[in-house]
Amino acid sequence: IQMTQSPSLLSASVGDRVTLSCKAGQNINNYLAWYQQKLGEAPKLLIYNANSLQTGIPSRFSGSGSGTDFTLTISSLQPEDVATYFCQQYNSWLTFGSGTKLEIK
Amino acid sequence: EVQLQQSGAELVRPGTSVKLSCKVSGDTITAYYMHFVKQRPGQGLEWIGRIDPEDDSTKYAEKFKNKATLTADTSSNTAYLKLSSLTSEDTATYFCTTFGDWGQGVMVTVSS
C-alpha cells in the first residue's frame, strides 16, 4: 500500500498550529501510526491507530482521519519539534510514507 | 523499561554477508514481534520484515526475501538480521524495533 505525505518540507513559526498530511493508496482501516525522527536518532512513535497518543508524548500532538486520509497536528509548534515526520500503515504488511521535514521559520 | 541494544557499525566488502544483533533488556523477547527497518542516508524508512521469537515465524517484505534472514535466540533475548550478497545498495542504517521501542540503529557500509 503506497503512502503519500505532504508537504515534503514545511517551515513554520514557534507557536503555529501545524498540519501534516498522509494519504493511503487504499482503505487502511485506521491502522496508521506517526513517527518523529530527529537528526541522527531513531524514530519515535507519536500516534497509533490514527488517533491514539503514545504514552509520554506531549498533548500538543494529535492524529485524526480515517480510511485513506490522515492528519498529524501540532497545536503549538515548539523548537524541539524540528524533525522529520513519517506515517506508517500496518493494515497490510507495513509501509512508510516518504516523510515531511519540519523546520522553524 | 524495554531497551533494544544493537551491535556496532560494520564495514563490509561487496558480495559478503553481515549479521546484526539486537538484544532486548527489561522484558522477554517472546513478548514482542521484532521488526527490522532500513534507512539509507538521507532517505525514508523501509520495512524489511519481522520475526515472532515465540515460534520463529517470519514475514518479509517482497524486496528483501532474498536479501534478509531473521532469527532469534530466546536464551540470550536477542534477535538477528543477516544480510547476504551485499552491494552498495545495502549501505544504510538498520534499526530493530517493536515500533513502540527502537534500537539505536547500526550503520552498515558496503565498500571495497
* A25-56 pLDDT tens trace: 999 999 999 999 999 999 999 999 999 999 99
- Other C-beta atoms lying within 10 Å of the C-beta of residue A23: 16
**How far apart are the CA of B104 and the nearest CA of chain A, in angstroms?**
6
- Supply the pLDDT for residue B103: 97
Which chain B residues touch A35 with a CB distance below 8 Å?
45
Q: Tell me how far apart the alpha carbons of residues B55 and A33 are, in angstroms, rounded to a whole number.
A: 26
Q: Are A21 and A70 in contact (CB under 8 A)?
A: yes
Which chain A residues touch B102 with a CB distance below 8 Å?
42-44
What whole-number percentage of chain B has pLDDT above 70? Answer: 100
CA A104 to chain CA mean position, Å: 17
B97 and A42 in contact by Cβ < 8 A? Answer: yes
- Supply the pLDDT for residue B54: 96
Return the residue of A nearest to B95 by Cα: A42
**How far apart are the CA of A105 and the nearest CA of chain B, in angstroms?**
21
- Supply the pLDDT for residue B97: 96
Give me the mean pLDDT over the B91-105 stretch: 96
Give the end-to-end CA distance of chain B in Å, rounded to a whole number: 40
Cell numbers that stand for B3 in this block: 531497551
- Supply the pLDDT for residue B1: 86
Return the residue of A nearest to B93 by Cα: A42
Percentages helix, strand, coil for chain A, rounded to the nearest 5? 5, 50, 45
Give me the mean pLDDT over the A91-105 stretch: 96
Give me the mean pLDDT over the A62-85 stretch: 98
Give me Rg for the CA atoms of chain A. 13
**How far apart are the CA of A99 and the nearest CA of chain B, in angstroms?**
7
B95 and A43 in contact by Cβ < 8 A? Answer: yes
Give me the mean pLDDT over the B86-93 stretch: 98
Give me the mean pLDDT over the A74-103 stretch: 97
Cell numbers that stand for B12 in this block: 563490509
- Supply the pLDDT for residue B5: 98
Give me the mean pLDDT over the B60-80 stretch: 97
Give me the mean pLDDT over the A43-70 stretch: 97
- Supply the pLDDT for residue A95: 96
Q: Which of A33, A95, A97 sits opposite B99 (nearest CB)?
A: A33
> What does each C-alpha distance from A63 to A5, A27, B102, B108 come to in angstroms?
14, 17, 21, 34
Q: Which of B47, B100, B104 sits opposite A94 (nearest CB)?
A: B47
In the predicted structure, residue A101 carries a pLDDT above the cut 90:
yes
Which chain B residues touch A42 with a CB distance below 8 Å?
95, 97, 102-105
Q: Tell me how far apart the alpha carbons of residues B41 and A10 are, in angstroms, rounded to a whole number.
A: 20
Give CB contacts under 8 A, 24+ apart, made by A36-41: A36/A81, A36/A83, A36/A84, A36/A85, A37/A83, A37/A84, A37/A85, A37/A86, A37/A99, A38/A82, A38/A83, A39/A83
> What does each C-alpha distance from A94 to A4, A40, A43, A57, B13 come to in angstroms?
14, 23, 15, 23, 30
The residue type found at A78 is Q
Is residue B97 packed enough to be buried (19+ CB in 10 Å), middle (13-18) or exposed (0-12)?
Answer: buried
| A39 contacts chain B (CB < 8 A) | no
Q: Are A63 and A76 in contact (CB under 8 A)?
A: no
**How far apart are the CA of B13 and the nearest CA of chain A, in angstroms?**
25
